[in-house]
Amino acid sequence: MTAVMTCQRWSEMDESARAALLARGTAAIFDPEMLESIERLIEDVAQRGDAALVDALKRFDDCEVPASRLLVSEEEFDAARKQVSDPVLEGIRVGIENIRTFNQQLVSEEEWRVEIAPGIEAGEKSTPVASAGLFVPSGKGSYPSVLVQLGTPATVAGVPEIVVVVPPSPGGDGEVDPAVLCAARELGLAQVFRANGPSGVAALALGTETIPRVRKVVGPGSPPVQAAQILCQVRGCHTQMLCGPSESLIVADSSADADLLAADLLNEAEHGPDSSSVLVTDSLDLVESVEGHLTRRLARLPEPRQEFARIALGRNGGAIVVSDLAEAAEVANLYAPEHMQLATDDDDSLLKLLDHAGEVLLGQDTPISLANYVLGVPAALPTGSFARVTGGITAETFRKKMSVARASGDALSRLSPAVEALADHEGFPAHLEAIRARQKKSADVD
């Protein structure tokens, strides 16, 4: 029987094998042909607005939706509540509550100032971005949790205008996932629009007759959706890099429960054929044990999830055997995963060696699925190694900081010679005169 996981020893992998493991889904996002096709869609939205959105829905989602129905109506919100079970609604509420509590800690100090030197007071003032667009995917399923993960931080941040775009169910009458609408209502978000992924992102970034233009767009999605966000940056809309195909990496040693490892490896692996799931361990015996549990668990998954998981654990991921946990940390830092779980006999010591991950979940009582839904920490996380330079989407994503400073007359006098020397060296006479004018006024007063 063919093994579920590809198994490789890190020390025996050549440069190309390591590069292939680390690259995962980024190649598809930056594919030149795909970028060119997405740029054409964006330009179409720029030129034709709502008409381009209507055509994209017909072309890509097989939905006949007139421009007058791009905005989800109040009647649809009301009907959605009747279609969503009480347990699902309660799950949405639990997620919102914990995520709100986590994010409130991040924005508890909106302004601070300290004396950084005699007579110099400096600090920052934090304010929300002017507007934000939240993209909620729906291609492979229903994702109210994504709106909870995006919308809760945005509302905690105090963003005055929040706009949501959701692709409708393919082949229908433009129906939007009722659970997503319930999440929107729980968050107080009324501006929800149905639009195809890349075109919807473009509409948020550029604005149309119906969809307001926003200053920042965030949200996970397929390579085309991520490509649209990248390309919209050159048109003046800020985005978060990257929230693309799902990925996870678990570092485990012989103390870990192999069956739970198999369950957690399948967690992100079932998302899609572009997902990746990796086990890093110093125990070959553990790999063999996990493989057996994976085989049994995988057989119980329905299609197409089963096939997605096989690809994520085979072609896109698998098991990496290392010499010790120090080398495991080296591999993990190079991979910089979206989701990382530690399942060792000393997770806190291993955590000290880790620098790059969207999230790190400690112990097997903290599964990725818990964090994805209700744990409170961000689950909209950077993929494709972008965890090396950025973190997950939180209230801080939707806020910006202004520097605030005040200098006393004594501080101005003390620092003026340094400014004069640098301004003269760099050839800025107006800079120099701004200092000397104050010195002259001070001398006149004296």
Please give the positions annotated as active site: 338-339
Residue for token pair 């001070």: 442
Residues in the chain: 446
Alpha-carbon distance of 166 to 201, in angstroms, equals: 10
Q: How far apart are CA 270 and CA 266, in angstroms?
A: 6
- 77, exposed or middle or buried, with CB in 10 Å at 0-12, 13-18, 19+? middle
Cα gap 247→34, rounded to integer Å: 22
DSSP-derived secondary structure letter, 95 = H
Beta-bridge partners for 115: 121
Asked if 194 contacts 72 with a C-beta cutoff of 8 angstroms, the reply is yes
Number of helical (H) and strand (E) elements in the chain, helices listed first: 18, 14
Please calculate the CA angle 75-160-111 and round it to the nearest 5 degrees. 150
- Beta-sheet strand order (sheet of 132-135): 192-194, 162-166, 132-135, 216-218, 238-239
